Structure 1
Amino acid sequence: MAAIQPQLNYLYDSRENRRFQRVPVTLFGRYMLESRREYPCQTVEMSPGDMTLFAPVKAQIGEKVVVYLDEIGRFAGVAMRQTDVGFALSMNLPPMKRDKLADQLTWFANRHAFNLPEDRRHERITPLMQRTLVRLPDGQEIIAKIKDISLSGVGIETEARPYLGAKVIIGTTPAVVVRHFEGGIGAEFEKPFHPGDIDESTRL
């Protein structure tokens, strides 16, 4: 079988002031704007010089942003453009941190080629008590079914489609809608649970 070639080379240009090719990668975390407000986020693509985020509240162009990604740590940057689902920021990393990030992105880019399992930020379980009450941004309350739950978020089976970034209350737990899927929504808890807090007996 032919050896799998690492993809590190395409992250770099040979010039000193190099531009980096972005790698599609899904990492979860939080970001803080200059207002000191924090929100959940998810990367869409990333390079050692910039990242594009799926984000419920867009940063203004030129605004300073701090991003903490669960798997790879803290990054500071400046918003350089807005997108339909969030914004992109540029980063000026020290050489050592930039090289480390390039190695990490190479691993993520090659993960599927090596047939490694897709990582999730936290293990998801299906609770025994699946029915819960969801309060929508307009105050409407609906009964929904919990598809799965983790320390950081929950999948809800419902016909309701609150907008991405909408703040909802699931049972008594505040959360933010971060994705839509067929038959339901995904939400990130505003304050993640601690390890050991979530099991099959958990009731939101």
Structure 2
Amino acid sequence: MVAVELRRMKRMSQSVSVQTSENRANRRQYERTNLSVAGRLMLPSGGEYPCDVEDISEGGIALHSQADGEIGDRVIVYLDRLGRFEGQLVRRFDGGFAIQTRLQTNQRARLIERIELLKNHSQGDGIAALPRRAPRRTPTNEEANECARLTIDNGEEVACRVLDISLTGAHIRLSNRPKVGTHVTVGRTLGRIVRHTDEGIGVEFLSTGKLAS
């Protein structure tokens, strides 16, 4: 019995050693960039927490967060202006943790492009001037009905009207405009207010949901 337990512990130790070596190799392989980007993350427990990026690369993200994730947890992260990421929690540090991501070649290329834009092109309000990637269009009746209400990050729901929509965002008519940077949910799609307009707000989607399809 003791011998079996010792063999099991040895296998676990070897597995952790291999993972640690891979994580160190990944950190060396990809150039990490320090960015000030906010977002939200979700853990397997279903908990959702705010987070801020410490640094990011094609292979992983270091996040500041009060989330109580464990090594090995699958983590889903929505980052402002960068989008959605999935990864595995591989390292903890004081005030946060790092996740390892596995991106396809085209995803890595898009991420590198967006990181460079965030580093080099910023407007007066500190929000990067990323190009629109999809044409705007008038919403269908189904879309207009589904997103007739907008949920603010404090849980408040308000009536609204979508004026135009695309894969990456929407222009929404709203009488009382929350401040730029506020997280909102349009229908079932998570987004962030990136500008105020004469008629309401401009929202960038942080995830791809039914309304943005």
Q: Which protein, 1 or 2, shows the higher relative CO under an 8 Å CA cutoff with sep ≥ 6?
A: 1
Which structure is larger by alpha-carbon Rg, 1 or 2?
A: 2
TM-score w.r.t. structure 2 length? Answer: 0.47
The structure whose residues are more often helix, as a share, is 2
